[in-house]
Amino acid sequence: MYQDWQCQLTGMTLDGWQIEPDEKGPQGPFIVATHGWLDNANSLLPLAKRIRNHSLLAFDWPGHGLSQHLPAAGNYHFVDWADVLLQVLEQLKQPVVLVGHSMGALVNAMVAAAFPEKVSHLVMIEGAGPLASEPEQAAAMLRKGLLSRKRSRKQTTTRYDDIHQAVAARHAVSTDLTPTLVELLIKRNIRASQDGVQWGYDPRVRAFSATRMTEPQVRAILRAIECPVQIIMAKSGYPEMKTMLASRRDCFRQLQVAELPGGHHVHMTQPKKVASLIEQFVADTIQTSD
């Protein structure tokens, strides 16, 4: 059963949806699923519809989909994404299975490390922890990030004559998706304008990061994760994700890795297989912990 969902955070409202399993019987832990950068909760809908034994909540990050944008003086920083997720988990009042894709996976890992009591399992799809940078790059990265913020405050999103043009534009950069899946994805991220349609995301989310953790800091974060971890990679996904995983495998206390055919949005193109992997992983690790 699908139902719309909203959550009031400090100074803003998140928008999303929740799906309850149709099948009656024992249910596994509650799942909170988070999407990637410039995507929205609809990227998780094909997966959610194939999860049989868990309730699943997905929401749009601030500045994405139907969630509110930050005030004019605000900026989007990776630590702030973690704060948003923490506020959601505090309202649920139960340990959850965190499932995240790409940017969502990186944020979920930080919250699982800092608040282990709130996360029973962590599933990262095309992700292996936060992005890192070299200490020597700090000043240059700060400059690039702040100048990028300045530009983004003056920008507007691209306009198209109709939704078909918007689908074609997104399909050109998300070539692993079919046009049908692209249309599902952009439905939460398109707004009517005076002479057509345009993207609904906040242009400021495209600004470059002004700072990142160093690799030793990221490794310390990952070592602090106490729950079982599953990482699902796509054979034709982002190569840098596989590189990060190869160098960080030793950071995880209990890790299961799987790889499926497909591109970066493998959870949309292979939702049944991804759902099966997640449910089996949760069931197996619950039995192990018992």
pTM of the model: 0.95
Please report, rounded to a whole number, the percentage of residues in the chain having pLDDT higher than 70: 98
Pairing between β-strand 159-160 and β-strand 196-199 as defined by DSSP bridges: antiparallel
Tokens of 31: 């799942």
Cα distances from 128 to residues 24, 121, 148, in angstroms, run: 34, 14, 26
pLDDT tens-digit series, residues 119-128:
999 999 999 9
* The pLDDT of residue 290 is above 90: no
Bridge partners for 14 per DSSP: 7
Which domains, ranges and CATH numbers included, belong to the chain?
A: 2-132+213-289 (3.40.50.1820)
pLDDT tens-digit series, residues 28-60:
999 999 999 999 999 999 999 999 999 999 999
Give the pLDDT band of residue 21 (cuts 50, 70, 90): confident
Which residues are part of the catalytic machinery? 102
pLDDT tens-digit series, residues 156-166:
899 999 999 99
**pLDDT reported for residue 288:** 52
**pLDDT reported for residue 25:** 65
